[in-house]
Amino acid sequence: MKLLGIEKVKDGKYLKSYELTYLNKKGREKKYEIVSRSEIAGPEDLGTSISGLSLVVICEDRLLLLKEFRMGINREIYNLCAGMLEPGESVEECIERELYEETGLKVKRIIDILPPSFAAVAFSDVKTRIAVIEAEGEFSDHTSENEQIQAAFYTKEECMRLLESAEFSSRCQIIAYFFTKNAFSELDNW
């Protein structure tokens, strides 16, 4: 596969659409559409920008899940607390801000911040980080008028039941699954 060119198709407020032209393995041209949060000037820019993060949040052997309405699918799903980095903001500052905005909780400690990973490789070059944190405090709503989020902590048993019957984002589903299998039990104070 050889990338021949990149053309911006649309410049939206949060996402930019691009059409990539490839030479496939049989030597034929193939058009491929992607979205990005970044400005892509050339092939060297694909997948280089880190745009946000997802939070794996625990508190006293419970996992934070957000039940939130997502406009892109027109329904509520279970998701992780997540958000975009603001210009000049550190990862740690983004963790604190997003946790507070979406739940009202505060960071008790940051357990780990994973290296950046691709969020949706089938249609985007978006890279994000995953942070594992311990939270404290009381729930309160600080979301924008365009967000509908119900935050709650769930036990392993409650997560097992939700995995059987509820809809999830893929990252959240895999985290909830491994949480129910005690995959995080080796972390300090879990």
User: How far is residue 117's CA from residue 126's CA, in Å, rounded to a whole number?
Assistant: 8
Whether residue 142 sits in one domain with residue 172? yes
Number of domains in the chain: 2
Whether residue 92 sits in one domain with residue 16? no
Whether residue 91 sits in one domain with residue 34? no
Amino acid at 88: G
Whether residue 72 sits in one domain with residue 166? yes
Does 68 reside within a domain?
A: yes
Helix axes 156-165, 170-180, angle to 10 degrees: 140
Does 185 reside within a domain?
A: no
Tell me the HSE value of 18 on the side-chain side, using a 13 A CA sphere.
25
Residues 6+ apart with CB under 8 A from 17: 8, 9, 10, 33, 34, 35
Does 189 reside within a domain?
A: no
Residue 140, domain CATH: 3.90.79.10
Does 117 reside within a domain?
A: yes
Whether residue 12 sits in one domain with residue 100? no
pLDDT at 90: 96
Does 158 reside within a domain?
A: yes
Domain containing residue 171? 50-180
Whether residue 128 sits in one domain with residue 57? yes
pLDDT at 190: 46
Whether residue 65 sits in one domain with residue 22? no
Sign of CA dihedral 102, 92, 52, 65: negative
Whether residue 107 sits in one domain with residue 18? no
pLDDT at 185: 72
pLDDT, tens digit (0-9, with 9 covering 90-100), for 127-149: 999 999 999 999 998 888 888 99
- pLDDT tens digits for the chain (190 residues)? 999 999 999 999 989 999 999 999 999 999 999 999 999 999 999 999 999 999 999 999 999 999 999 999 999 999 999 999 999 999 999 999 999 999 999 999 999 999 999 999 999 999 999 999 999 999 998 888 888 999 999 999 999 999 999 999 999 999 999 999 987 776 655 4
Whether residue 66 sits in one domain with residue 37? no
Whether residue 66 sits in one domain with residue 32? no
Does 148 reside within a domain?
A: yes
Whether residue 113 sits in one domain with residue 22? no
Does 120 reside within a domain?
A: yes
pLDDT at 186: 66
Whether residue 95 sits in one domain with residue 126? yes
